C-alpha cells in the first residue's frame, strides 16, 4: 500500500502539467460554447453537442498519451530510489491507471456540467434526477464503456511493444497488436449487442422538458425524430433506458488487459 501511494504521488509529479493543461482546456471549450448564438434551437444544440464531443475526444487522446509514457519514464529505474523495495508491475500499472482514471472522472464531470449549461442555454431543462444523471450517471457510464478500455488498451500496447520488440524496433509488436485489436473488439461488440437488455436498462435522463414557447414533453417524439435510438424504447414507445451490458463488458475487458499488461511487466523484470 505504501508503494502504491508513493507511485500515485509520482504520477501526480510526472503528469501534473498534463492535468493542468487538460482541465484548463475546459475554459476554452466553455468559451467556444458561449460563442454559439444561432437562432435555430436545433442547430444551436447540434453545434454545441459537436463541441462537447470534440472536448471529450481531445480528453481521451491527452489521457492516452499521458498514460502511455511508460517505457521512457521507467527506463533505468530512476523512480525506484524512493521506494524501500521495487514495486511489482501490477502496482506500477495500478497506480498509473488509477491516477489517469481519476483525472478522466473530473474531466468527464466537468463536461457533464457544461452539457447541462449548454442545454439550459438552448432551452432544454433537465428535471429532478436527470441533472444528476447528466453530471454523474452518463459520465461514469461513458468512462466505463469508452475511456477505461481505451486507457487499458494503451497501457497494454506500450508494455507489449516494449517487451517483445525486435532489437530497438518497438513498432513491430506494436503494429501487430494495433492490427489485431479491431478483430477482438468486433467480436466483443457483437456479443455485447446480442446481450442487450438481459439486465434492466439504466434509465438515464428520464425526465426533461424542451422550453421554447411553452413546456413540451418530448419523450414520445424522440423515437420518431431519432430512428437510430429506437432501441431505447419498447414496442409501446416507452423509454426503457440505456443497456448496461456494454458498461460491464468493457470494465471486465479493461481489467483483463491490465492483468495481462502487469503479467508481461513481471515476466520482463524477472
Count of domains observed in the chain: 1
The C-alpha atoms of residue 168 and residue 98 are separated, in whole angstroms, by 30
Taken in order 106, 107, 108, 114, the sign of the CA dihedral is positive
* Residue 48: how many other CB atoms lie within 10 Å: 23
Q: What DSSP line would sit under 25-64, residue for residue?
A: HHHHHHHHHHT---S-HHHHHHHHHHHHHHHHHHHHHHHH
Q: ∠ CA 154-75-68 to the nearest 5 degrees?
A: 15
Range from 17-21, 42-46, 88-92 carrying the lowest mean pLDDT = 42-46
Region 157-163: what's the mean pLDDT? 80
Confidence grade of residue 225 (pLDDT, cut at 50, 70, 90) = very low
Region 155-160: what's the mean pLDDT? 85
Taken in order 168, 170, 171, 172, the sign of the CA dihedral is positive
More confident site: 237 or 222 = 237
The C-alpha atoms of residue 122 and residue 14 are separated, in whole angstroms, by 40
Residue 46's domain spans which residues?
2-269
Residue 48 has pLDDT above 70, yes or no: yes
pLDDT of residue 88: 75
The C-alpha atoms of residue 99 and residue 238 are separated, in whole angstroms, by 40
* Residue 9: how many other CB atoms lie within 10 Å: 13
Strands (E) across 72-186 are located at: 124-126
Query: pLDDT for 196-221, tens place per residue?
Result: 878 787 777 665 544 433 343 444 44
Task: Answer for the pair 46, 122: CB distance below 8 angstroms, yes or no.
Answer: no
The C-alpha atoms of residue 24 and residue 59 are separated, in whole angstroms, by 11
pLDDT of residue 98: 94
Residue 69 has pLDDT above 50, yes or no: yes
pLDDT of residue 159: 84
Range from 7-16, 82-91, 137-146, 261-270 carrying the lowest mean pLDDT = 82-91
More confident site: 243 or 54 = 54
pLDDT of residue 90: 85
Average pLDDT, the chain: 77
Confidence grade of residue 173 (pLDDT, cut at 50, 70, 90) = low
The secondary structure of residue 199, as a DSSP letter, is: S
Q: How far is CA 206 from CA 41, 137, 240, in A?
A: 21, 12, 9
Q: How long a stretch of residues is the chain?
A: 270
Region 113-135: what's the mean pLDDT? 80
Percent of the chain whose predicted confidence (pLDDT) is above 70: 73
pLDDT of residue 33: 87
- Residue bearing cell 523495495: 85
Question: Which residues does residue 59 pair with via DSSP β-bridges, in sequence order?
Answer: none
Q: What DSSP line would sit under 210-231, residue for residue?
A: EESSSEE--HHHHHHH-GGGGG
Residue 152 has pLDDT above 60, yes or no: yes
Buried b (16+ CB within 10 A) or exposed e, 53-83: eebbeebbebbbebbbebeeebeeeebeeee
Confidence grade of residue 169 (pLDDT, cut at 50, 70, 90) = low
Residue 270 has pLDDT above 90, yes or no: no
pLDDT of residue 24: 93
The C-alpha atoms of residue 31 and residue 51 are separated, in whole angstroms, by 11
* pTM attached to this predicted model: 0.80
- Residue bearing cell 451490458: 245
Query: pLDDT for 243-256, tens place per residue?
Result: 888 899 999 999 99
Amino acid at each position: 500500500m505504501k508503494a502504491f501511494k508513493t507511485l500515485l504521488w509520482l504520477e501526480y509529479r510526472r503528469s501534473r502539467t498534463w492535468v493542468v493543461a487538460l482541465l484548463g482546456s475546459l475554459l476554452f471549450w466553455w468559451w467556444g460554447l458561449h460563442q454559439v448564438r444561432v437562432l435555430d434551437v436545433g442547430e444551436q444544440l447540434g453545434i454545441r453537442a459537436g463541441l462537447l464531443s470534440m472536448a471529450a475526444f481531445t480528453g481521451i487522446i491527452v489521457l492516452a498519451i499521458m498514460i502511455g509514457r511508460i517505457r521512457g519514464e521507467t527506463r533505468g529505474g530512476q523512480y525506484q530510489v524512493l521506494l524501500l523495495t521495487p514495486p511489482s508491475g501490477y502496482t506500477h500499472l495500478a497506480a498509473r491507471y488509477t491516477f489517469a482514471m481519476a483525472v478522466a472522472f473530473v474531466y468527464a464531470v466537468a463536461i457533464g456540467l457544461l452539457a447541462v449549461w449548454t442545454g439550459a442555454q438552448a432551452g432544454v431543462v433537465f428535471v429532478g434526477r436527470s441533472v444528476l444523471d447528466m453530471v454523474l450517471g452518463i459520465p461514469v457510464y461513458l468512462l466505463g464503456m469508452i475511456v477505461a478500455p481505451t486507457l487499458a488498451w494503451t497501457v497494454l500496447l506500450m508494455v507489449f511493444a516494449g517487451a517483445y520488440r525486435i532489437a530497438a524496433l518497438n513498432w513491430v509488436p506494436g503494429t501487430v497488436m494495433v492490427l489485431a485489436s479491431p478483430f477482438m473488439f468486433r467480436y466483443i461488440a457483437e456479443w455485447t449487442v446480442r446481450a442487450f437488455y438481459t439486465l434492466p436498462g439504466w434509465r438515464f435522463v428520464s425526465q426533461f422538458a424542451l422550453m421554447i414557447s411553452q413546456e413540451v414533453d418530448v419523450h414520445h417524439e424522440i423515437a420518431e425524430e431519432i430512428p437510430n435510438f429506437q432501441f431505447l424504447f419498447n414496442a409501446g414507445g416507452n423509454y426503457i433506458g440505456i443497456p448496461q451490458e456494454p458498461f460491464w463488458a468493457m470494465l471486465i475487458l479493461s481489467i483483463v488487459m491490465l492483468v495481462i499488461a502487469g503479467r508481461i511487466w513481471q515476466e520482463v523484470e524477472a
